[in-house]
Amino acid sequence: MTTIRQRRVGKGTEVPEDQPPEEKNVKPDGKIVSDHTGGKLWNILSITVGGILAISLGLLTSVYVATLHENDLWFSNIKEVEREISFRTECGLYYSYYKQMIQAASIQQGIVNCKQYLEPVYFYIYTLFGLQAVYVIALYVTSWLLSGTWLSGLLAACWYITNRVDTTRVEFTIPLRENWALPFFAVQIAAITYLFRTHLQPVQERLTLMAVFIATFLFSLTWQFNQFMMLIQALALFILDCFDMLPTAKVTWLYIIQISGLLLVCVLQFFNSMILGSLLISFNASVLIARTIQKNLKKGGLLNRLGKLIIHVLFVLCLTLIINKFIKKILNLESDEHIFKFLKAKFGFGATRDFDANLYLCEEAFGLLPLNTFSRLSDTLLFYIYIFVLFLMTVAAIIVAFRNLSGSNRVQFMEKMEECTIILKPDAAYNLIHTVLFGCLALSTMRMKYLWISHMCVFASFGLCSTEVWKLILKCIHLYTSQRTHVIKYSIPIITLLFISYKFWPGIMDELSELREFYDPDTVELMNWIKSNTPNTAVFAGSMQLLAGVKLCTGRTLTNHPHYEDKNLRERTKQVYQMYAKRSPEDVYRILRSFGTDYVILEDSICYERRHSRGCRLRDLLDIANGHIMDGLGENEPDLKPSLYPRFCEEIKKNLPSYTIHFTRVFQNKTFHVYKLAKHK
C-alpha cells in the first residue's frame, strides 16, 4: 500500500466601463456616451488590467498545483521508478504511452528531444499544470463576458482556487484524461458564450465558430466521456431553441460542429466505432432532420405551440433511438453497453449481476455527490450565492419561456417580461441551462462534480457582478437607481473577495508549507524485481490498476489494462480476475494461459479487501457473476449456490500439489505474490 509520510528535513442593456472591446462605453449614471477618446482610453486600460489579472491568476494557479504536487511527494528527490509508481491506476497507463514515444529513436532525434533542457517527466507534468492556467483563464473570461466586468472573472478564479478540492484533482491524478480535456471544455464554453452575444460582426462570428470547433475537437480527442458531456450540451441547446431563447442559426452551427469534431476524432483514432454509435451523433442528426420536416414550430398561440413542441420532442427522441439502434446494428457495436447497464441499475430500473456494471456501481466516484461537498462550498460563500443567482435566473427563464410560447402582447405583462429579458440574454440563458444540467449530472455521479463546480464559480460570480440582476432586484423592492446598482454590483463582490482572502489565505500558506514524501517500498521492490528477473517478452496478468504501473515501469506485456471502453478487453479482464474468485486451479491456469500469461501477480489488498462493504468487494462481484454465494455474514440471493472450490487467491498460498503443478511462487513481499505459470505441453 502507498503511504505519504512527513518529510524529514438577448436584449440591449447598459454595461459597465470595464468591459470587452465590442461593448459600448457607459457613464456611472448608466447613460450611453459617444465613443470619444477618453472613453476609448478608459476601455483599453480596463481591458488591459483585466487581461493581465486573468493571465496572472492562471499562472499562479498552475504554480500552486505544481507546488502542492512537489510538496506532497517530494517529486524532485525520489527515484524514477517511484515517480512512475506515483502515477496510479490508469494514470500510469496514459503516461506509459508518452514514455514509449520519447524513448523511440526517431522521436529522440526529432522534435521531442527535450532531455538536454528538461527531464521528460517534468515536461509532461508541467504541460498539464500549464493547462490549468488555460482552464482558469477560460473560466475568468466566461464570467467576464457574462457580467461585463473583469471583477467577476477575478471572483470566479478565486473561488476556483479556494474550492480546489471540488474543482480539480490534477495535483494527484496528473495524467488522467479529464485533466487534458476540461481546460478545452472551458475554452469551448467561453467561445459559445461569446458566440451568443448580440451584434457580432460576420468576421467575429466566423472566428468564434472556428474557436468553438477547435476547442470541441481537442476536448473530444482527449477524454473518453466527451460524447456524453456534449450530449448534455446538445440537450441544453435543444431546450433553449425549443423555447426560442437562442438564435436558431447559431444553434444549428453548434450541432454541426459537435458532429464534425466527433467524426474527425473517429478518423484520428483509427475509426473508433464507439464514436459512430454515440447518442450525440444520433441526437444531433435527429434534431437537424426534424427541423426540415416540421415547419412553423415557433408560430401560433400558447396551446398550439405547446402541442407542436411536444410532438417535436417526441419525434426527435424516437428518431434518435432509431438512428442509434440502426448504426449499432449495422456496425455491430457493443463498446458502450456496460454504461447503459450501469445507468439502468443506478437509477433503479432493475438490479444487475453484470460484472462491469457492478464494478462502476460500487465505486464511490460513480455514486451520489456527498452532502459534505455543499458544506465545503458554503464555507467560501460560493454555494449560497450560486443558489441565490440560480433561483433568480430560473424564475426569469420560466417567465421568458412562457412569453415566447404564448406570443402574448398583453400590456400588463410587457414591463415585467422586458425586465426578465434583460437578465436573460442568450449567453446567460445558455449558461443557466448548462449549469442546471451539469448540476444534475454531478448530483447523480460524484466524479462529474469537477465539471459542475468549476462552472458554478463562473455562474455565481456572474450573478453577483451583473448589472441586470441587481437592477431587477432593486426594481422589485422599489429602490432602483442607476448609481445604487453600480455601487452594489462592485461593493458586494469586493467584500466577498476580502472575506475569502481573510478566511482562506492562511490555510493556503499552511498547505504550501506542509512537506511530505512518497513512500511505497513494496511496489518499488516488485517493479525492480520484474525488471531484473523476468525476460523483456514476459506477459503479466493482474489487476488493471497494478498492470498499468507494470507497463510503465518495466515495459512488460500485459493481459489487460484500465482502458475499459473496449468490450473484448472488459471480457478479458473479467476472465483474468477469476484468480480472485472461487475457481479450480485448472480453470484459472487454463484461462491465464489462453491469454499467453507467463506470470500472475496476486494482491492481498484485493484478496482480503476491506475497503468496500460486503457485496461490493471485487471477490463478491465475481462470486455474484459466477452464481456463487458470497463470503461472510449476510444475505445472499436465493438462486446463488456454494462453489465447489475454495477461493483461488487464498488457496494457492498453501502450496498444495494441485496448485504447484501449474503455479510456482517466484516473488513475495508483504503486499504482492508473483507466480510463474508452468508451460505444459
- Residue-wise pLDDT tens digits, 100-140: 888 877 755 545 755 667 888 999 999 999 999 999 999 99
Q: What spatial distance separates the first Cα and last Cα of the chain, rounded to whole Å?
A: 38
Positions of E strands within 578-671: 599-603, 663-668
SS3 115: coil
pLDDT at 108: 55
Determine contact, residues 393/436, Cβ cutoff 8 Å.
no
pLDDT at 192: 98
Indicate the residue type of 365. A
Q: Which of 282, 276, 357 is nearest to 324 (CA)?
A: 282
Grid coordinates standing for 80?
A: 524514477
Q: Which of 574, 577, 599, 578 is nearest to 587 (CA)?
A: 578
pLDDT at 57: 96
pLDDT at 115: 62
Q: How many CA atoms lie within 13 A of 111 on its CB side?
A: 0
pLDDT at 564: 75
Averages of pLDDT over each 10 residues, the chain, 681 residues: 46 40 42 60 91 96 95 93 91 88 68 70 94 97 96 97 95 91 97 95 96 97 92 97 93 97 93 89 96 84 90 96 94 80 80 84 90 96 96 92 73 46 80 97 94 97 93 88 92 96 94 92 96 96 94 94 82 95 96 96 94 91 93 88 94 95 96 94 67
For the beta carbon of residue 339, count every other beta carbon within 10 angstroms: 16
Determine contact, residues 236/433, Cβ cutoff 8 Å.
yes
Q: Which of 605, 583, 575 is nearest to 652 (CA)?
A: 583
Residue 265 CA to residue 219 CA, distance in Å, equals: 10
> Vertex 638, ends 637 and 642: CA angle to 5°?
90
Beta bridge mates, 676: 599, 664
Q: What counts of helices (H) and strands (E) characterise the chain?
A: 31, 7
Q: Which uninterrupted H or E stretch holds 341?
A: helix 337-346
Q: pLDDT digit string (tens) for 387-410?
A: 999 999 999 999 889 888 887 544
Determine contact, residues 440/456, Cβ cutoff 8 Å.
no
Grid coordinates standing for 109?
A: 532525434
For the beta carbon of residue 638, count every other beta carbon within 10 angstroms: 5
Determine contact, residues 626/642, Cβ cutoff 8 Å.
no
Residue 286 CA to residue 247 CA, distance in Å, equals: 19
Grid coordinates standing for 146?
A: 457574462
pLDDT at 32: 44
pLDDT at 240: 96
Task: For strands 557-558 and 539-541, give the pairing.
Answer: parallel
Taking CB atoms within 8 Å and a gap of at least 24, the contacts of 495-499 are 496/155, 496/381, 496/385, 496/464, 497/154, 497/155, 497/158, 499/381
Mean pLDDT of the chain: 88
pLDDT at 36: 61
Q: How many CA atoms lie within 13 A of 21 on its CB side?
A: 9
pLDDT at 110: 47
- Name the burial class of residue 477, with classes exposed (0-12), middle (13-18) and buried (19+) by CB atoms within 10 angstroms of its CB: exposed
pTM (predicted TM-score)? 0.89
pLDDT at 101: 84
- Sign of the Cα torsion 61, 64, 70, 76 reads positive
Phi and psi torsions of 628, nearest 5°: -105, 155
Q: Which of 565, 178, 603, 637 is nearest to 356 (CA)?
A: 565
